[in-house]
Amino acid sequence: MIPRIQKRGQRTLGLLYYLYGPGKYEEHTDPHLVASWDHNAPDPGRDESATLKQLQQLLDQPLENIDATERPKKHVWHLSVRNAAEDRILTDEEWGNVARRMVAAAGIDDPDQGAGCRWAAVRHADDHIHIVATLVREDGYKPDLDHDAARVQAQARALEVELGLRRLNKGDGTAAKRPTSAERHKAERQGRERTAREELRETVRRAVAGATSEEEFFDRLAAAGLLIRKRVAPSGDLLGYKVALPDDRNKDGEPVFYPGARLAPDLSLPRIRERWSADSRDQDNAPMEPTAARPAPSGPASARRRTASAAWQAVLVIEHSDDAVAAAYIAAAGEVLDALAKTSAAHTRAELRDAAWAFERASRSHVRAERGHDRALRQAARDLVHGGPALGRGEDGATTAMAIDMLFFLITAAAHWHAKRDHAQQAAAAHQAAEHLRTAYRAAAAQPLGALYQRGRRLNRPLQQRQTAVLHQALPELAERILAEPGWYALAATLADAESAGHDPTTLLIEAATRRELHSAESASDVLVWRLRRAADLPADTTGTVPGEHGAQGPTRRPQRPTQERSGSRSRRQ
């Protein structure tokens, strides 16, 4: 149940004409009163002899009881109360009770004292009502409306429980502004999946992901086809920006522009600049792999590998750093999701886009992010954008699965962080994003894990027995569970690859397992495959012959590589 207090107005009659009229898009049906301050109030919707003027005069009558100089300039209070689409349809009697509870909670009416304001609740659709009230009480005093929005929200939460409706989480004022009903109807007429406001918010977020300057940001907006207006001070300094879709026009044929701050609180130019200005600061003291250890990514697969490493690191930071640093990493995780969705292959694109869209709500809270510490994640987002789209096959597809797997850990950690701080909406959004990532992972991992499974099945018996012994030695408590999983053969192939590359598979497996617990993972073997392949720098997709397959001579050792894994990981909870 969503109660929304609208801007106060001056014309009661004008609002009544709208409520009882057909609506802007003929969406109003059977407008009628469901409750009011007086059981005998005229209802122009059901009583042919009643008029809107009569109802307006009765509602505004208390204004005549006070001096004209003391009357509020905007005396019309307007509240809409809407149910979720999946909620059952309430009866008029139930909506009438909702209206009475809402006006009492807001301070509009005081049934106990009998000196409230006059009000009327109009229903013109199955899923919502509108309440209009005059902001002068019967005794001539003005109502106490301090914190009326918070009070009606609290009443909505109680009504959801009593009426068996979908229970919404308490908001904290950091959510992006919802599209108006007019914007939703316009999108429906134009056949859009989302409103112009929502499309613009997604496009701007993708343009911000990994950007390092105003020039790059605005170049990305222009490349995405948006119309841009910049607000410039007389000194020449840039103060802000607005964007519009080229085909979203008003009645005069002019583009409808939205300022960045109206799209989302963190998309205003000053808030975006915080990311750029902080990029030059020192990173936090969490152990990180030196950037010189490997060259910058040159393609989608390399970018996804670095994304997996950055996500792996970020989990530890979120769990063990102070709130301001953790909030920065969570915000940057949103950039990574936006960038990954933008560059994903067709079979994972929809789920990754939905994950990024859901996590947008989790990327903001009242904890102010201390930007700069999140530079590694922001760089990962930049790498993804500049690495370009993945084809979804071979190493691109396998490293996508690896990146999604690690991002699942990161988003789950963000959900836990929000939940511990009672950020209910953000925690719910992060869990929703994790579900989309789960689906995307399954699509991305099917081919590479399937190939590894087949290669593991083809290992000769002595090598299979050796990898089984390694598993029992490294993870005695989990060995039998892992051996019973279908993914064991993929893990066995990975252990053989690691041994062939010069690693000690027992040491590598112990390190991979002790970084994070595995008991809560649906498939411990899947989790270990990606941990090992990332830590040992093994190709994510290998379709050749594993040393030790039938007909092969055995492992061919190469120069020893470091087996130390960068700290931080997360078992994938399914």
Q: Domain holding 36: CATH number?
A: 3.30.930
Beta-bridged to residue 123, according to DSSP, are 32, 129
Q: What was the pLDDT predicted at 553? A: 38
Q: Are 138 and 239 part of one and the same domain?
A: no
For the stretch 290-323, pLDDT in tens is 443 444 546 899 999 999 999 989 998 998 889 9
In a domain? residue 185? no
Task: List, in order, residues 6 or more apart from 350 with CB less than 8 Å away.
Answer: none
Looking at the 3D structure of the chain, how many domains does it have? 3
d(CA 430, CA 414): 7
Asked if 115 and 200 sit in the same domain, the reply is no
50-59 tens-digit pLDDT: 999 999 999 9
Same domain flag for 342 and 268: no
65-to-12, 70, 140, 145, 379 alpha-carbon distances in Å: 17, 10, 6, 20, 65
Least confident of 129-133, 263-267, 507-511: 507-511
Model confidence at 371, pLDDT cuts 50, 70, 90, reads confident
pLDDT for position 114: 67
Residues 487 and 529 sit within 8 Å (Cβ to Cβ) = yes
- Which SS3 state, helix, strand or coil, does residue 315 take? helix
Burial of residue 242 (number of CB atoms within 10 Å: 0-12, 13-18, 19+): buried
> How far, in Å, CA of 402 to CA of 413, rounded?
17
Helices 346-362 and 394-420: crossing angle in degrees, nearest 10, is 20
- Judgement on whether residues 225 and 348 belong to the same structural domain of the protein: no
74 domain-assigned: yes
* Residue 540, in any domain of the structure: no
b/e map 431-444, b = 16+ CB within 10 Å: bbbbebbbbbbebb
Give the mean model confidence (pLDDT) for residues 246-264: 93
Q: Are strands 258-259 and 2-5 parallel, antiparallel or unpaired?
A: unpaired
> Residue 318's domain spans which residues?
291-535
Helix, strand and coil in the chain, % to nearest 5: 50, 10, 40
Residue 284 maps to a domain: no
Q: What are phi and psi of 91, to 5 degrees?
A: -80, 165
pLDDT of residue 200: 96
What's the confidence (pLDDT) of residue 293?
41
| Residue written as token pair 């995780």 | 333
Whole-model pTM: value is: 0.75
Helices (H), 63-213: 92-106, 148-163, 181-190, 196-208
Question: Under DSSP, is residue 81 helix (H, G, I), strand (E, B) or coil?
Answer: strand
Clarify whether residues 304 and 340 are in a common domain. Answer: yes
Whether 407 and 514 map to the same domain: the answer is yes
Do 14 and 89 fall into the same domain?
yes
* Lowest-pLDDT range of 55-59, 185-189, 282-286, 346-350: 282-286
What average pLDDT score do residues 9-30 get? 88
Which amino acid is residue 252, in one-letter code? D
Q: What percent of the chain has pLDDT over 90?
A: 62
Q: What does the mean pLDDT of the chain come to?
A: 86
Mark which of 147, 163, 179 sits at the end of a domain: 163
What is the pLDDT averaged over residues 272-294?
57
Instruction: Write down the residue that tokens 């904290």 correspond to.
Output: 172
Task: Note whether 377 and 284 are within 8 A (CB).
Answer: no
Would you say residue 99 has pLDDT above 50? yes
User: Has residue 517 been placed in a domain?
Assistant: yes
Domain limit, last residue, from 113, 146, 163: 163
Indicate if 258 and 305 belong to the same structural domain.
no
Q: Is residue 362 pLDDT above 60, yes or no?
A: yes
Rounded to 5 degrees, φ, ψ at 540 are -70, -30
Helix (H, G, I), strand (E, B) or coil at 212: coil
Highest average pLDDT, of 167-171, 388-392, 444-448, comes from 444-448
Read off the pLDDT of each residue in 127-135 and give the average, rounded to a whole number.
Answer: 94
| pLDDT reading at 563 higher than 90 | no
Q: Does residue 77 sit in helix, strand or coil?
A: strand
pLDDT, position 546? 47
Kindly state whether residues 145 and 197 are assigned to the same domain. no
Token reading at 293: 């250890």
Give phi and psi for 452, each to the nearest 5.
-65, -40
- Asked if residue 150 and residue 57 are part of one domain, the reply reads yes
Amino acid at 459: L
pLDDT at 539: 85
**CB atoms inside a 10 Å sphere around CB 65:** 13
> Does 542 have pLDDT greater than 70?
no
Q: Whole-angstrom distance between the N-terminal and C-terminal Cα of the chain?
A: 30
Does one domain contain both 315 and 406?
Answer: yes
Residue 553 inside a domain? The answer is no
Asked whether residue 174 is assigned to any structural domain, the reply reads no
Q: Is residue 172 part of a domain?
A: no
Residues 241 and 308 in one domain: no
